[in-house]
Structure 1
Amino acid sequence: MTLTSRAPRTARTSRRLRAALVAAASAGLIGAALPAPEPLGIGDPLFPHLGNPGYDVLAYDIALTYRGDNSKPLDAVTKIDAMATDRLDRVNLDFTHGTVRSVLVDGQPAAFTLGGEDLIVEPSRAVTAGTRFRITVTHTSDPSGPRNTGGWVRTSDGLAMANQADAAHRVFPGNDHPSDKAYFTFRVTAPKDLTVVANGRGVGRTLSGDTRTWLYRGSRPMATELAQVSIGRSTVLHRTGPHGLPVRDVVPAADAERMEPWLKRTPAHLEWMEAKVGRYPFETYGVLVADADTGFELETQTLSLFERSLFTRSSLPRWFVESIMVHELAHHWFGNSVSPRRWADLWLNEGHATWYEALYADETAQQSLEARMRQAYTDSDRWRAAGGPPAAPRPPAAGQKISLFRPVVYDGSALVLYALRQEIGKAAFERLERRWVDRYAHATASTDDFVRLASEEAGRDLTAFLRGWLYGERTPAMPGHPDWRSKAPVKGSTKAPAPAAKR
């Protein structure tokens, strides 16, 4: 949503405002009219106008019609089933970059307007707290626009999605914050010669003339930033992972043979991750190879998005490519199943994914974890000066939301985990990792939750120890390595490094 100097409106301030208006109306001081529509937010420090108060989304049912031209808007209908947590005279949804044609609330026409990056809906009657309701929005979903603004990614043969961090509402209306996870169903109609894949598992497809409609449904709740729909001239390759897990990879049809040496490694990657943290938490997994220049890879739920060039550049060592594949896979435990409560908790996603990326390279390719952590320690103070400490990152640059993904949330945050392992020992650390993904599976969790669980596992309060690592301007001394030194930042320099090439 548009950033302004106005303080963010939270659910609590919305309730106070309504209460004041009701009291004033009862006293005859003002009429009963609602205040002017405006964008809201849940007050996330990094994205203060993202998300919306007063309701909890339970499920999305998103229908998209693609006519074969990836520069033209798709026709769409988004149905949102939600539970009101407050009385709602209006319902704000995050949505931008599309045309809204109509809105229904529980089947009845509703007034609507656009404000900032919000679709503001006024139902014919207020929604009562504690009740379920459905909003149906008929709209377009527009893939045009500058590259790397998020949302739809235009590939050489169609489309894919890359919604992190705040771009899902460029594709469909919703509550675009990872704290409000929901179940997703996708119904996608496209020319019959194209292949459509989406999060979850395919549960049906029907042919009608020259088009085919594909139906996909996820069995676990998902954050909006992790949504994925791919449309193109693709081949879907099937194999089996641990415990009979269905693995499906989606690649440009012409590349199926070329990609196989990489794709066939996925079952082994799954086995390696399960040995570290426990059973894979979703119903399917796979790699989606997009012929597009995104500049990053992305852990979209059950189907990780990768640039084609990652697998075709001969200059990249094999161990490096595999470690990046493991990075995105690790996110399915850390970030997808256990999602951040606020965007400031991003270090829990990226620090863990980077940790397992580095650990995999250490164990399978003799790429020393300790050497990588020592280099990270050397750079840590400069990273903190440029982007803030791991658990209190500075907001992204205006108009550059992916600038949030800085080195401090990758290797700088993996360094926190290394320090913790040094402090409590390898066995306790490994138990903590398993307990973390088990206790908060398919839910959200915060930095404070992690500190509490680490203290519980260690049998002592680690708050003071972790405070410096997570929030300090300077990097604390590394347990077990008193000789490690971090280079001081250049005085007066706070320019953040370029965004990392993985997420």
Structure 2
Amino acid sequence: MTSPRRPAARRRTAVLRREAVLATVPVAVAALLGAAGPTAAGTPGAAGAGDPYFPLSGNGGYHVRHYDLTLRYDTASRHLDGRAVLTARATQRLSRFDLDLKGLKVTGVTVDRAAAGFTRNGQELVVTPRHALREGQEFRVAVTYNGTPKPVTDPDGSADGWIRTDDGAFVAGEPQGAMTWFPANGHPSDTSSYDFTITVPKGRTAVANGVLAGQHTAHGRTTFRWHQAEPMAAYLATATVGTFRVERYTTPDGVQVVNAVDAREARAAAPVLRQLPSVLAWESKLFGPYPFRAAGSIVDHAPDVGYALETQSRPVYDSAPDLSTLVHENAHQWFGDSVALTAWRDIWLNEGFATYAEWLYSEQHGGRSAQKTFDALYDRPASDNLWAFPPGDPGSGRNIFGTPVYDRGAMTLHELRRTVGDRAFFRILRAWATEHRGRHGTSAQFVRLAERESGKDLEGLFHTWLYAHGKPDRA
């Protein structure tokens, strides 16, 4: 995401960046369904993944391997009909489990095609299968649902999730908005492949992640099918809908590019989007091969959103991006998307790295050097918001998109570069992106990797720049 979010209800891209209890069947009948079979032999899955910043984000007891999402969205009525089929594996003997889903009316749940009991508890959809699931068992849960999706308000006052626009929806789920439009194991520690089938009125385009697998128009509606093969966190999924001009091409490396641009943003966006292939080539040279089969951009006209997001393989922008924003969001394809977070406290691994990519791009393309950018930031007084909290542990969900995460996170990387030298530093960046490709990472793992690649003891450096409070003393 472009840095940083404003603390008010909107975030600016150019600078940085309860429902009622609902069930298809009465609760008493649902309970009977859940009680059928030996459910008592299992243990309920946890209602959250254990993240202290977002305690109810994600769920325990299972891992989702694949999501198959079928959506029908009416842009006039704002009504969404959905069916989600999740292919999952139980990580314990499981008597019941939760899915994250906020709002929307659930009309049916099955587990392995057998009707399952379900109840609603805030953002949790609690599912009780007919029989307990064995540890290691693969199962499929299907949820049908409908309603008018609404965004969530994050701790910093910003909105994310399914955000209506004048011609469709801007769909950006960081950190918790995925649950506004599909049932999910919504923490970044759980990554999965995805298929999307999205039907919208003729004349509208629905853009999701990955490769466009097909589209057809009939009876006044167009259906788009997208396939995201590489693992993806739920917050990085999109199904943005609008009146877009669509451009398609394939890069020399075989990456399939789809750009979808609102006509009102097309003139401003064109010169920047033309540089996407060269930006991806430059980032690939620094960080290793581009990690996905698809790339591109979704440039919407969404003036009330206030930010861009690195939705996997195809970042979404609320307006025409500048070049720095394009560099930032596509750097995330390595740092944050391919290498996913294990916990939200480590978000500097996403935002600090993408911000430093902006500094490097400027330095290597005739602009200000990374050292001068660092110096200008360091000259800010100790009272400046840059030093408000340590980027390695922002302290709460309210702070994860704050200035220290982005700028002091990038400053940490520059201090690392100054300490170990360019040769070791760029080897560290590339090793992190390649060794953790398609997996997760933590700050502690990055520190160990940096020490391994540089042969230096870096504990003091990282303590000072990542975890110490206040303005660090300059070495």
User: Which TM bucket (shorter chain)?
Assistant: 0.7 to 0.9
Task: Say if 2:195 and 2:225, in contact at 8 Å, map to a contact too.
Answer: yes
| Correspondence 1:70-219 to 2 at 5 A | 72-140=78-146, 142-144=148-150, 148-219=158-229
Deviation of 1:128 after TM superposition, in Å, equals 0.9
Q: Structure 1 residues 385, 473: closer, same or farther in 2, change over 3 A?
A: farther
Aligned to 1:440: 436
Aligned residues with identical type, % of pairs? 37
Deviation of 1:384 after TM superposition, in Å, equals 7.3
Higher relative contact order (CA 8 A, sep 6+): 2
Deviation of 1:256 after TM superposition, in Å, equals 3.9
Aligned to 1:303: 314
Deviation of 1:191 after TM superposition, in Å, equals 1.6
Distance 1:261 1:167 in 2: 31
Aligned to 1:467: 463
Aligned to 1:495: none
Task: Say if 1:286 and 1:302, in contact at 8 Å, map to a contact too.
Answer: yes
Distance 2:452 2:103 in 1: 46
Q: Structure 1 residues 267, 228: closer, same or farther in 2, change over 3 A?
A: same
Of residues 301, 310, 313 in structure 2, which corresponds to 1:291?
Answer: 301
State the one-letter code of the partner of 1:455: E
Deviation of 1:477 after TM superposition, in Å, equals 3.3
Task: Say if 1:196 and 1:229, in contact at 8 Å, map to a contact too.
Answer: yes
**Which stretch shows the higher mean deviation, 265-274 or 233-242?**
233-242
Do structure 1's residue 239 and structure 2's residue 238 form an aligned pair? no
Task: Say if 2:161 and 2:180, in contact at 8 Å, map to a contact too.
Answer: yes
Q: Structure 1 residues 387, 100: closer, same or farther in 2, change over 3 A?
A: farther
Q: Structure 1 residues 471, 254: closer, same or farther in 2, change over 3 A?
A: closer
Q: Structure 1 residues 242, 388: closer, same or farther in 2, change over 3 A?
A: farther
Task: Say if 2:309 and 2:317, in contact at 8 Å, map to a contact too.
Answer: yes
State the one-letter code of the partner of 2:422: K
Aligned to 1:55: 62
Q: State the structure with more CA Rg.
A: 1
Secondary structure of 1:56's counterpart equals strand
Deviation of 1:274 after TM superposition, in Å, equals 1.6
Deviation of 1:32 after TM superposition, in Å, equals 6.0
State the one-letter code of the partner of 2:212: G
Distance 1:380 1:349 in 2: 26
Q: Structure 1 residues 383, 176: closer, same or farther in 2, change over 3 A?
A: farther
Task: Say if 2:150 and 2:180, in contact at 8 Å, map to a contact too.
Answer: no
Render the CA deviation track for 1:302-344: whole Å, top value 9, x for unaligned.
1111122x45xxxxxxxxx211110001000000000111001
Distance 1:470 1:144 in 2: 36
Task: Say if 1:72 and 1:144, in contact at 8 Å, map to a contact too.
Answer: no
TM-score (structure 1 length as normaliser): 0.81
Q: Structure 1 residues 383, 164: closer, same or farther in 2, change over 3 A?
A: farther
Deviation of 1:381 after TM superposition, in Å, equals 4.8
State the one-letter code of the partner of 2:138: R
| Correspondence 1:397-408 to 2 at 5 A | 397=398, 403-408=399-404
Q: Structure 1 residues 419, 351: closer, same or farther in 2, change over 3 A?
A: same
State the one-letter code of the partner of 1:434: R
Task: Say if 1:197 and 1:229, in contact at 8 Å, map to a contact too.
Answer: yes
State the one-letter code of the partner of 1:174: A
Task: Say if 1:183 and 1:219, in contact at 8 Å, map to a contact too.
Answer: yes
Task: Say if 1:82 and 1:132, in contact at 8 Å, map to a contact too.
Answer: yes
Task: Say if 2:387 and 2:471, in contact at 8 Å, map to a contact too.
Answer: no
State the one-letter code of the partner of 1:226: L
Aligned CA RMSD, in angstroms, stands at: 2.3
Deviation of 1:160 after TM superposition, in Å, equals 2.4
Deviation of 1:155 after TM superposition, in Å, equals 2.3
Secondary structure of 1:285's counterpart equals strand
Aligned to 2:365: 364
Task: Say if 1:39 and 1:117, in contact at 8 Å, map to a contact too.
Answer: no
State the one-letter code of the partner of 1:287: S
Structure 1 residue runs without a partner (length 5+): 3-30, 312-320, 398-402, 480-503
Secondary structure of 2:302's counterpart equals coil
Task: Say if 1:299 and 1:329, in contact at 8 Å, map to a contact too.
Answer: yes
Aligned residues, how many? 433
Distance 1:277 1:244 in 2: 18
Do structure 1's residue 264 and structure 2's residue 274 form an aligned pair? yes
Aligned to 1:490: none
Render the CA deviation track for 1:104-148: whole Å, top value 9, x for unaligned.
011011111111211000111111111001110001253346784
Distance 1:253 1:50 in 2: 36
Task: Say if 1:151 and 1:167, in contact at 8 Å, map to a contact too.
Answer: yes
State the one-letter code of the partner of 1:108: A
Deviation of 1:374 after TM superposition, in Å, equals 1.6
Structure 2 residue runs without a partner (length 5+): 1-17, 19-38
Aligned to 2:448: 452
Task: Say if 1:151 and 1:163, in contact at 8 Å, map to a contact too.
Answer: yes
Aligned to 2:390: 389
Distance 2:193 2:241 in 1: 21
Aligned to 1:278: 288
Deviation of 1:292 after TM superposition, in Å, equals 0.3
**Which stretch shows the higher mean deviation, 362-371 or 144-153?**
144-153
Aligned to 1:498: none
Task: Say if 1:54 and 1:84, in contact at 8 Å, map to a contact too.
Answer: yes
Task: Say if 1:240 and 1:267, in contact at 8 Å, map to a contact too.
Answer: no
Task: Say if 2:386 and 2:408, in contact at 8 Å, map to a contact too.
Answer: no
Distance 1:441 1:383 in 2: 36
Deviation of 1:196 after TM superposition, in Å, equals 1.8
Q: Structure 1 residues 438, 34: closer, same or farther in 2, change over 3 A?
A: closer
Distance 1:383 1:109 in 2: 57
Do structure 1's residue 412 and structure 2's residue 401 form an aligned pair? no
